[in-house]
Structure 1
């Protein structure tokens, strides 16, 4: 790669471009106004407020209410510790724990015995029931024969993979060390033979694919219960591809696992953040709104789903405690985002049935497709990418070499291309806002480059994209006029329901909003995050939410200000920028309409707080 002409050109161009501004008039003008602004800003209440770190976590934890809840938790913790001592005597539990600790050390021959027993018994079940040999039994038998011939462990197979070694090392598994010993005993082989035969016998009542799915699910649930961190990493990688209830179930299981560890492990310390109290207050307000909702049953379901996603905040703050875990989390999410973007780009190239559903085809005749990828809606996909793109920027900015930065530009380019193909104007504006914030806080020398790219973009951007962007605010576009009418109708509705709200969810909104709708336009939500929270949860809901945002940005800006360049600062800046851009999009759409995006919002709140804590810890140690 070092000899690449393209790479050499890019590096030289970047260095020359940056150098030409150092002594230029533009640079002097920029520094002049920046210094004036900085002197005036330092005296303002706004800047002094946001650059002073909040310290709410200790105050809340020392309050009488917190001490009361802590006493209750300690009581239940003693009960759980007693139950754990009893369970530790269980042979089944000890077997599961042993398998979890040694899954990479067991010889593949042992897994082959499991499949062999399964295939033989399954074939016998088919013969007894009068059927013929199944393809699944044949495939299992062939695969088992291959595994039985191999007398190596999984750790020995993957010992040369740098990525897998790093991931496993975080979970306490040293593949280099494990690869030296392959643990295989006759008893272990007999147990796996018995389990395989049992699974094969179950196929007399349950289809074999369901049996395999149940085995995988059991292993996954066991792994999450043993180590709750496993659950949150699985969620981070798979939530764009899973249905909402599957994600919610896995999140609930992970939270239960964390509570169990908190109860029985006296060495596990719960991480407190400045947002904890606001998350809990918002959940309380939402519960009250659900109880008083016009569609109580529907609102309570929404509340329970949101509550589970809020649990994700506390799971992440107790998982990501250092740079290594922060990097691993972003790595997993980046790989997942690249797959989402590739699928979106595929939809743009080859098209799909609902591609023009969200477009005014009379006004935008040149837009053939608005991609949705795995999210079913281009605006929702745009919101996902809006949060992810700044996070991926943190990889680019902190690569050790410029060559690595160019390589890291590939996922960033794929996500950016997919964002363009959503044709979501609100998300485009949010991304511009995020880019301005990121560059302003992290590396101001790129401001002029950004301005030039924006000014030159109409020269190389397709006309469909330029037309779409220039249509922002054009009320002749049905999408724009549709939103404006809905905002007016929602504001009219709020005159009667501003105090308690109408309750969370589309069912409550659809019951009340049509009575206030302008031009008889009916909608499932208000197309504005802030109006939606106010309409659903009343004045208390929006006040708690705004207080949460103020403390969040006060926490992050105070940590970023004056900090040295590092991966933690890049992540902190990127997450701040991404969430700010997301909130800009919230002006134009209800960004909480999709439940997975709601979960992602609380995950990013947690990741930002983790970045702040890691950044402050690093600055204190320097």
Structure 2
């Protein structure tokens, strides 16, 4: 069974050997001599980190067109880095990269066979830019210093976004769309949207912020940064709750519980035997009780949560159910490779299936959207990618846990964020918007950056803080964690 799992998750795949036998291997490094003589390219990795940070700094405040320009810049710089790479081709590749490439290939075929090929090509270009951003981030994030800098930049920007959202709650804000059923008790409730213009989009944007700021409480050194991280967590979490986005709440709660479970697992080796057994039920029980108490004590929260379970009795639920019915009909007609990627292709095809009065810009479910765009083949590849990514995250976390290395907290946050964003994505597709989609690929890149090709030892790149360092292997003179 273990062997089957390793084959499924590509755990034993020699990526470097595969890359050396590919045609791509021959073009990597063709500009190597130019790079050696370039003064600017001495700072290639920090420049790449700056470009990535600019994407997250600008995303909440600018148009999607400008975000697209930044993505093009990131993609172009990755191409330049790859063509002038000093490292041996394939050393930065992982099984996650290969599955991302496979998914892109399926999207290319789906575009070629799409009934609206031109519209699908627009979606393919956007998907390609996101994936090139992913590979650039996965490369840059291998440096703990650059990784921490980009995360810090994102968290500081979320503070500005969240404070603006909280200001809307206290001073009021005009609803830019019909976000609440006019017949419900929440008709007059303010739903904050900050600079993003949509409360559901804001909630999706803040899920990674809430989890990463919680991780920063443990990962950042000294009390002042930890106090800043705690403040960021409170502000981001409060703003997310005040979006009154039910999908966002689901993602927030799922991500929070996942992070709690990983934290308990992390610290369990230092707990007495009793707490090793009972820590999970006690902590999760208390957390669940606090959530139930908050929902019960605050009428707006109670009414909004209750609306999740009333089925078609809520206008938003009814709208989504009708859209899902139409989307399923679309899937039935093109079950294997779908209609091609992107919302433009969806908007061209969906009117042929929609029920009267239920216009939609997307499938309102990530998994249905993938089925529509790339069919069952694309969905299977996406699920394979998720399983492999989570397996990489879990394996690396075990290594960090044994060494008690601070990087483990960022890895736990990335895994919990991925799970939370998927939970949100089950009932919405806001992470197809660039402000959120870039964060999804940042989460994937964080996990990928911790991958190290299968070796008996895993040695982190930063000093280890542990009162019980690993035992020394007297035969080869290095620490082991096997």
Range into which the TM-score falls when normalised by the shorter chain: 0.7 to 0.9
The 3 A distance-change label for structure 1 pair 237 and 268 is farther
- For residues 563-600 of structure 1, the C-alpha deviation after alignment (integer angstroms, 9 at most, x for no partner) is 24432111111111111011011111123431332222
Q: Counterpart of 1:571?
A: 410
Query: Does 1:266 pair with 2:86?
Result: yes
Secondary structure of 2:432's counterpart equals coil
| Cα distance in 1 between the residues matched to 2:12 and 2:130 | 21
Asked if 2 retains the 8 angstrom alpha-carbon contact of 1:569 and 1:611, the reply is: no
Q: Counterpart of 1:251?
A: 71
| Cα distance in 2 between the residues matched to 1:295 and 1:492 | 17
Q: Counterpart of 1:352?
A: 173
| Cα distance in 2 between the residues matched to 1:301 and 1:265 | 30
Between structure 1 and structure 2, the one with the greater Rg is 1
| Cα distance in 1 between the residues matched to 2:129 and 2:46 | 20
The 3 A distance-change label for structure 1 pair 588 and 49 is farther
Deviation at 1:521, TM superposition (A): 2.3
The 3 A distance-change label for structure 1 pair 356 and 320 is same
TM-score by length of 1: 0.64
Deviation at 1:289, TM superposition (A): 1.7
| Cα distance in 2 between the residues matched to 1:320 and 1:275 | 15
| Cα distance in 2 between the residues matched to 1:502 and 1:243 | 27
| Structure 1 stretch displaced more, 480-489 or 394-403 | 394-403
| Cα distance in 1 between the residues matched to 2:409 and 2:33 | 45
Asked if 1 retains the 8 angstrom alpha-carbon contact of 2:110 and 2:340, the reply is: yes
The 3 A distance-change label for structure 1 pair 478 and 610 is same
Query: Does 1:393 pair with 2:214?
Result: yes
Deviation at 1:488, TM superposition (A): 1.6
Q: Counterpart of 1:70?
A: 24
Asked if 1 retains the 8 angstrom alpha-carbon contact of 2:204 and 2:431, the reply is: no
| Cα distance in 1 between the residues matched to 2:220 and 2:228 | 9
CA RMSD between the two structures: 3.2
Alignment of 1:306-345 (within 5 A): 306-345=127-166
| Cα distance in 1 between the residues matched to 2:433 and 2:187 | 28
Alignment of 1:87-102 (within 5 A): 97=40
Query: Does 1:292 pair with 2:105?
Result: no
| Cα distance in 2 between the residues matched to 1:403 and 1:266 | 39
| Cα distance in 2 between the residues matched to 1:621 and 1:73 | 37
Asked if 2 retains the 8 angstrom alpha-carbon contact of 1:498 and 1:534, the reply is: yes
Counterpart of 1:240 (choices 42, 60, 77) is 60
Q: Counterpart of 2:304?
A: 468
- For residues 67-92 of structure 1, the C-alpha deviation after alignment (integer angstroms, 9 at most, x for no partner) is 23234314xx43x346668xx6xxxx
Query: Does 1:418 pair with 2:260?
Result: no
Asked if 1 retains the 8 angstrom alpha-carbon contact of 2:392 and 2:447, the reply is: no
Query: Does 1:555 pair with 2:392?
Result: yes
Q: Counterpart of 1:479?
A: 316
The 3 A distance-change label for structure 1 pair 313 and 621 is farther
Q: Counterpart of 2:459?
A: 617
Query: Does 1:227 pair with 2:38?
Result: no
Counterpart of 1:374 (choices 184, 195, 206) is 195
| Cα distance in 2 between the residues matched to 1:60 and 1:48 | 18
| Cα distance in 2 between the residues matched to 1:231 and 1:317 | 14
Q: Counterpart of 2:344?
A: 507
- For residues 120-173 of structure 1, the C-alpha deviation after alignment (integer angstroms, 9 at most, x for no partner) is xxxxxxxxxxxxxxxxxxxxxxxxxxxxxxxxxxxxxxxxxxxxxxxxxxx7xx
| Structure 1 stretch displaced more, 258-267 or 325-334 | 258-267
The 3 A distance-change label for structure 1 pair 593 and 254 is closer
Q: Counterpart of 2:182?
A: 361
| Cα distance in 1 between the residues matched to 2:356 and 2:141 | 50
Q: Counterpart of 2:327?
A: 490
Query: Does 1:541 pair with 2:383?
Result: no
Deviation at 1:433, TM superposition (A): 1.0
Q: Counterpart of 2:359?
A: 522
Q: Higher relative CO (CA 8 A, sep ≥ 6), structure 1 or 2?
A: 2
The 3 A distance-change label for structure 1 pair 51 and 425 is farther
- For residues 69-116 of structure 1, the C-alpha deviation after alignment (integer angstroms, 9 at most, x for no partner) is 234314xx43x346668xx6xxxx87xx5xx99xxxxxxxxxxxxxxx
Deviation at 1:48, TM superposition (A): 9.6
| Cα distance in 1 between the residues matched to 2:199 and 2:362 | 17
Deviation at 1:340, TM superposition (A): 1.2
Secondary structure of 1:321's counterpart equals coil
Q: Counterpart of 1:216?
A: none
Deviation at 1:484, TM superposition (A): 1.1
Give the paired residue count: 441
The 3 A distance-change label for structure 1 pair 71 and 319 is closer
| Cα distance in 1 between the residues matched to 2:34 and 2:397 | 45
The 3 A distance-change label for structure 1 pair 328 and 502 is same
Secondary structure of 1:566's counterpart equals coil
Asked if 2 retains the 8 angstrom alpha-carbon contact of 1:287 and 1:303, the reply is: yes
Secondary structure of 1:242's counterpart equals coil
Asked if 1 retains the 8 angstrom alpha-carbon contact of 2:205 and 2:435, the reply is: no
| Cα distance in 1 between the residues matched to 2:452 and 2:372 | 34
- For residues 420-444 of structure 1, the C-alpha deviation after alignment (integer angstroms, 9 at most, x for no partner) is 1111111111111111111112126
Deviation at 1:318, TM superposition (A): 1.4
TM-score by length of 2: 0.82
